[in-house]
């Protein structure tokens, strides 16, 4: 355990590394109870995987800074979706509609731009509005009628996937010049470049970080996820917060859908099938407790990066097939859930 | 409500609403498909819309029956779709490796291997949920994510097609003029009903779902019961996997059983089993699965574009859940709308939702939970 405890900010873990053998057990236990541990584990994992990748594919250009930046370019949409999912999971809920909303947004955008001839500047607010409204509706039903989030968002999953198909069964390619110029726009960083999508994703991450850790709304999200009943007794507006959380998730999913549209430049009714699972996996691997109330949005970033790195390592490996991504994701998910379990078991006593 | 006691007793039966919905759905088809209810005998096989509804609904019924018991213990199993894919992939790849694909022993062995894999998945889920105490949604998410990868690994990313007569029987064959899968489903349902309603097993499952801790204190081995239901659910999914791969004569790691977990949960919910656990109705689930299959068929027959299928399903989920929500009924119907529809949902206090006064007020459906004395 102590080998992973090298975070500059975790003071009590520093002690553990220098601790004597006599009290190692209790210190290890305290370390295990540290909320930051999962994030540190994930960050370490990312680092180790990156170094392994460097070792294996150095000659194939794995060390290029652009390969690292590509992680953000290729997974920007996942990051945005996972940030939205982080809000929901922190509040103790779950949102299964993420993938469908992303798919629907690609479809809606492609349809409005290509078939209806609307300029993309008009389409963007429409798409975001529809996503946020969908999230709001789900949150409204979850809160007001006390139906489990999981089943309501499941209905949302069906609904949005169905609406995709209602718009069109075929995929719609986007040839619009303003969209493609937007997609190709790059920000030079000296050592490489980032796409617009990656930059937006990082901005979303920064905003989410600020909102969750420095605003009243963020505190309410944590409070409700920690113990909804106490939060209510404390007089927190739990209903409004819950609805807001699902609205945020809907908005993020729609934004992720727009980024995905830019990334792939088409709308397809089957885009992003099952991406809610990737998003949830990223959040969990990032160390957010699925029971809610504990976790960091920065952990989600590492979760997404780890998932992205698995994909790029598999690409570099060449011989491995893409289904290994799923297996690796599942194994990681399992490992991190067990870590979480060990932590929460510790907290109870 | 000026109704006779008998009518009230009928409407309050837990199967009343699911069956009513099913009948309405079936009747909707009549004007669009003349002779919807007629069943013809061709080549010694029975054909007709009703037969095909049951035939195509068979895998869903199986998965949903397994899911019912899991949900009755207060859990959920998201991994069934992946288990369907794994079982199909293993069985088909084993059969396709054989020189003589029609050899009976080979087919049985292949099916055995597939089902063992399913049971292992179930044991794993049960272990995580019962032994490690991980939330069921999350514990089963692992196989849901990784399982499809494993299935593709088994099939090497290909769609394995097979050509085995004996294996074809399970999902696409006929026996005694009826599709063979109907007999499989009937057998599984009969065994399940017998085990849960003729023995104390069903009671134990319900008591674990009602309150796992209390039932443990009473002396029920709740861990064992929980593991058992996940294994049973995976086994049902495995049989469904055999059926699906047999019907298509192919194993598709990516698409076999895709979203069947969602349909199965939906079927369970329509059947009146509360997602909070504590009570279940196998009959309701079977009707629920038939409702979903009929809905799909109806959408085809009345000429609505098939792609709206999912929108309809979403509407059904929302309506069913709203009707099951005591709070919704209180708000919309002023608490007058009784009936046992959605029996027991919301009855469990101290769930995730805070017990507001409105929650405990006129929940006519919320009969007292089974007290474990």
Query: Comparing C-alpha atoms, which of B53, B72, B65 is closest to residue B237?
Result: B65
B143: chain A residues, CB-CB within 8 Å: 330
For A271, residues 6+ apart whose C-beta sits below 8 A from its C-beta are A102, A103, A106, A107, A260, A264
Q: Pairing state of beta strands B159-161 and B250-252?
A: antiparallel
Distance of alpha carbon B274 from alpha carbon B277, whole angstroms = 6
Q: Looking at chain A, which residue has its C-alpha nearest residue B145?
A: A330
- Confirm if B78 and B234 have CB atoms less than 8 A apart: no
Q: Averaging pLDDT over each range in A30-44, B68-82, B209-223, which range is the top one?
A: B68-82
A326: chain B residues, CB-CB within 8 Å: 145-146, 148-149, 152
Whether B159 and chain A come into contact, CB under 8 Å, resolves to no
- Confirm if B84 and B256 have CB atoms less than 8 A apart: yes
Whether B213 and chain A come into contact, CB under 8 Å, resolves to no
Query: For the complex shown, is ipTM > 0.85?
Result: no
Q: Residue B142: its pLDDT value, please?
A: 87
> Mean pLDDT per segment of 10 residues, for chain A of length 349 residues?
39 42 63 74 89 85 86 93 95 91 93 88 94 95 87 88 86 83 81 88 95 93 88 84 95 94 84 84 87 88 92 79 82 84 63
Lowest mean pLDDT among A226-240, A325-339, B56-70, B323-337: B323-337
Q: Residue B181: its pLDDT value, please?
A: 87
Q: Which of residues B330 and B78 earns the better pLDDT score?
A: B78
Whether B161 and chain A come into contact, CB under 8 Å, resolves to no
A330 closest CB neighbour out of B134, B146, B313: B146
| Å between A55 CA and nearest CA of chain B | 26
Both structure tokens of A224: 């409700």
Band of the pLDDT at B258, cuts 50, 70, 90? Answer: confident
Q: Give the CA distances from residue B88 to residues A123, A173, B65, B150, B311, in Å, rounded to whole numbers and listed in that order.
A: 43, 35, 19, 12, 29
Both structure tokens of A196: 């617009």
In tens, the pLDDT along B174-193 reads 787 788 888 999 999 999 99
Q: Looking at chain B, which residue has its C-alpha nearest residue A275?
A: B145
Q: Residue A291: its pLDDT value, please?
A: 82
- Are residues B352 and A169, on separate chains, in Cβ contact within 8 Å? no
Best probe of the A interface among B307, B328, B333, B357, by most A CBs < 10 A, is B307
For B89, residues 6+ apart whose C-beta sits below 8 A from its C-beta are B151, B152, B154, B155, B160, B245, B251, B253, B256
A337 closest CB neighbour out of B134, B148, B310: B134
B322: chain A residues, CB-CB within 8 Å: 141, 145, 147
Q: Residue B346: its pLDDT value, please?
A: 38
For B69, residues 6+ apart whose C-beta sits below 8 A from its C-beta are B192, B196, B205, B229, B232, B233, B280
Query: Comparing C-alpha atoms, which of A107, A90, A81, A20 is closest to residue A249?
Result: A81
Q: Residue A211: its pLDDT value, please?
A: 95
Q: Residue A320: its pLDDT value, please?
A: 67
The CA R_g of chain B, rounded to the nearest whole Å, is 21
A154: chain B residues, CB-CB within 8 Å: 262, 265-266, 317
Q: Residue B341: its pLDDT value, please?
A: 44
Mean pLDDT computed over every residue of chain B:
80
How would you class B221 by CB atoms within 10 Å of its CB: exposed for 0-12, middle for 13-18, buried for 19 or more?
middle
Helix (H, G, I), strand (E, B) or coil at B49: helix
Give the number of A-B residue pairs with CB atoms closer than 8 Å: 142
- Confirm if A49 and A295 have CB atoms less than 8 A apart: no
> Which residues in chain A (89-148) have CB-CB distances under 8 A to chain B?
92, 94, 141, 144-148
Whether A166 and chain B come into contact, CB under 8 Å, resolves to yes
Whether B24 and chain A come into contact, CB under 8 Å, resolves to no
Q: Residue A25: its pLDDT value, please?
A: 65
Residue B41, pLDDT above cutoff 50: yes
- Are residues B314 and A158, on separate chains, in Cβ contact within 8 Å? yes
Q: Residue A112: its pLDDT value, please?
A: 92
B325: chain A residues, CB-CB within 8 Å: 145-147
Distance of alpha carbon A81 from alpha carbon A263, whole angstroms = 14
Distance of alpha carbon B364 from alpha carbon B1, whole angstroms = 15
H or E stretch including A193? strand A193-195
Helix (H, G, I), strand (E, B) or coil at B351: coil
For residues B6, B9, B10 and B11, what is the CA-based torsion angle, rounded to 10 degrees? 120
B213: chain A residues, CB-CB within 8 Å: none
Residue B97, pLDDT above cutoff 70: yes
Q: Which of residues B271 and B253 earns the better pLDDT score?
A: B271
Whether pTM > 0.95 for this model: the answer is no
Distance of alpha carbon A300 from alpha carbon A288, whole angstroms = 8
Distance of alpha carbon B154 from alpha carbon B164, whole angstroms = 19
H or E stretch including B333? helix B326-333
The position carrying tokens 């309701």 is B284
Q: Residue A101: its pLDDT value, please?
A: 94
Distance of alpha carbon A300 from alpha carbon B49, whole angstroms = 50
H or E stretch including A212? helix A196-214
Any idea what DSSP says for residue B46? Answer: E
Average pLDDT over residues B186-211: 87
A238: chain B residues, CB-CB within 8 Å: 354
Q: Give the CA distances from residue B114 to residues B85, B119, B235, B352, in Å, rounded to whole numbers and listed in that order.
A: 10, 9, 10, 38
Whether B322 and chain A come into contact, CB under 8 Å, resolves to yes
| Å between A223 CA and nearest CA of chain B | 14
Residue B20, pLDDT above cutoff 90: no
Whether B19 and chain A come into contact, CB under 8 Å, resolves to no
Q: Which of residues A304 and B1 earns the better pLDDT score?
A: A304
H or E stretch including B252? strand B250-252
Please provide residue B174's backbone torsions phi and psi, each rounded to the nearest 5 degrees: -120, 150
Partners of residue A147 on adjacent β-strands:
none
Q: Which of residues A18 and B106 earns the better pLDDT score?
A: B106
The position carrying tokens 């105490």 is B133
Band of the pLDDT at B31, cuts 50, 70, 90? Answer: confident
């Amino acid at each position: 355990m102590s080998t992973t405890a090298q975070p500059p900010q975790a003071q009590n873990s520093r002690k553990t590394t220098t601790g004597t053998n006599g009290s190692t057990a209790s210190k290890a236990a305290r370390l295990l109870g540290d909320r930051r541990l999962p994030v540190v584990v994930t960050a370490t994992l990312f680092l180790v995987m990156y170094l392994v990748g460097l070792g294996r594919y150095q000659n194939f250009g794995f060390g290029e800074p652009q390969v690292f930046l590509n992680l953000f370019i290729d997974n920007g949409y996942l990051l945005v979706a996972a940030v939205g999912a982080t809000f929901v999971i922190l509040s103790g809920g779950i949102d299964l509609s993420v993938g469908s909303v992303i798919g629907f947004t690609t479809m809606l955008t492609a349809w409005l731009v290509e078939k209806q001839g609307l300029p993309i500047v008009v389409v963007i607010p429409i798409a975001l509005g529809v996503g946020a409204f969908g999230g709001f509706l789900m949150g409204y039903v979850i809160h007001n009628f006390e139906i489990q989030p999981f089943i309501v968002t499941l209905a949302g999953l069906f609904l949005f996937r169905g609406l995709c198909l209602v718009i069109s069964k075929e995929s719609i390619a986007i040839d619009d010049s303003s969209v493609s110029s937007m997609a190709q726009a790059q920000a030079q960083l000296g050592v490489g470049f980032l796409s617009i999508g990656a930059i937006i994703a990082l901005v979303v991450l920064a905003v989410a970080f600020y909102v969750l850790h420095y605003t009243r709304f963020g505190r309410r999200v944590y409070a409700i996820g920690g113990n909804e009943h106490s939060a209510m007794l404390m007089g927190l507006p739990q209903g409004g917060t819950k609805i807001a959380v699902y609205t945020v998730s809907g908005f993020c999913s729609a934004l992720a859908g727009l980024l995905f549209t830019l990334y792939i430049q088409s709308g397809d009714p089957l885009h992003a099938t099952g991406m809610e699972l990737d998003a949830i996996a990223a959040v969990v691997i990032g160390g957010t407790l699925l029971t809610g109330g504990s976790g960091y949005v920065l952990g989600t970033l590492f979760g997404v990066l780890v998932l992205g790195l698995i994909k790029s390592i598999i690409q570099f490996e060449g011989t491995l097939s893409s289904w290994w991504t799923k297996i690796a994701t599942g194994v990681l998910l399992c490992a991190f859930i067990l870590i979480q379990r060990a932590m929460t078991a510790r907290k109870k006593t | 409500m000026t109704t006779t006691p008998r009518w009230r007793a009928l409407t309050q039966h837990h199967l009343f609403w699911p069956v009513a919905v099913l009948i309405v759905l079936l009747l909707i088809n009549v004007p669009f498909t003349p002779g919807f209810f007629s069943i013809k005998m061709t080549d010694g096989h029975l054909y007709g819309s009703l037969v095909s509804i049951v035939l195509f609904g068979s895998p869903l019924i199986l998965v949903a029956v397994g899911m019912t018991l899991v949900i009755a213990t207060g859990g959920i199993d998201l991994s069934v779709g992946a288990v369907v894919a794994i079982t199909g992939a293993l069985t088909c790849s084993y059969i396709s490796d054989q020189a003589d694909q029609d050899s009976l022993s080979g087919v049985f062995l292949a099916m055995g291997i597939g089902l063992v894999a399913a049971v292992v998945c179930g044991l794993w889920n049960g272990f995580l949920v019962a032994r490690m105490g991980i939330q069921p949604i999350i514990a089963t998410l692992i196989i849901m994510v990784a399982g499809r990868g494993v299935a593709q690994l088994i099939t090497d990313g290909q769609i394995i097609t097979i050509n085995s007569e004996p294996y074809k029987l399970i999902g696409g064959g006929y026996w005694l003029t009826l599709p063979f899968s109907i007999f499989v489903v009937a057998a599984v349902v009969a065994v399940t009903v017998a085990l849960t309603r003729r023995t104390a097993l069903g009671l134990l499952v319900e008591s674990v779902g009602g309150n796992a801790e209390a039932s443990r204190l009473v002396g029920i081995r709740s861990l064992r019961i929980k593991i058992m239901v996940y294994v049973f659910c995976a086994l049902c999914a495995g049989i469904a996997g055999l059926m699906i791969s047999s019907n298509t004569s192919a194993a598709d790691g990516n698409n076999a059983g895709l979203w069947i977990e969602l349909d199965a949960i939906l079927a369970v919910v329509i059947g009146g089993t509360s997602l909070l656990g504590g009570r279940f109705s196998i009959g309701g689930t079977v009707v629920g699965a038939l409702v979903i299959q009929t809905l799909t068929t109806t959408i085809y027959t009345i000429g609505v574009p098939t792609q709206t299928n999912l929108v309809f399903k979403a509407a059904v989920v929302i309506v069913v859940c709203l009707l099951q929500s005591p709070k919704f009924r209180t708000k919309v119907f002023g608490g007058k709308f009784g009936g046992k529809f959605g029996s027991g949902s919301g009855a469990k206090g101290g769930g995730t939702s805070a017990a507001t006064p409105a929650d405990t007020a006129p929940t006519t459906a919320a009969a007292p939970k089974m007290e474990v004395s």
